[in-house]
Amino acid sequence: MECPSHYTRKYIFCTVYTRGIMKEFSVDFSSVQDVQRFVELATQQPYPITLGNEQHRVNGKSFMEIFSLNFDYPLTAWLDCSEEQFQSFVAALKN
């Protein structure tokens, strides 16, 4: 199954890259509600999710840790999961 190259949901722009086992995509949050939605979906997942940039990486399931990051630029999310789990997470973000 092929990953979508990008998608847009309520001003969240994500670009998906698949590199071996670890999946990653870029996400740009435009509001607190976008961050809240991401954390709600992330906490439901059984695998680790990391969010960050070149300087800092934090737990993608922690609302407080995410707000320690700089939102001026898109962030990268790393998911250590199977292809099926990744596709499920991406589909949930689309809705």
Buried b (16+ CB within 10 A) or exposed e, 24-58: ebbbbbeeeebbebbbebbeebeeebbbbbeeeeb
pLDDT band, very low/low/confident/very high, at 86 (cuts 50, 70, 90):
very high
Topology of the domain comprising 6-94: Histidine-containing Protein; Chain: A; (3.30.1340)
Residue ranges of the domains in the chain? 6-94
> pTM for the full model?
0.75
Cβ 16 vs Cβ 8: under 8 Å: no
30 membership: H or E segment, kind and range:
none
pLDDT tens digit string along 9-60?
434 445 555 555 788 889 988 889 999 999 999 999 999 999 998 889 999 9
What the block records as the tokens of 24 is: 């990653």
Between 73 and 1, residue with greater pLDDT = 73
88 membership: H or E segment, kind and range:
helix 83-94
Structure confidence at residue 13 (pLDDT): 45
Structure confidence at residue 62 (pLDDT): 96
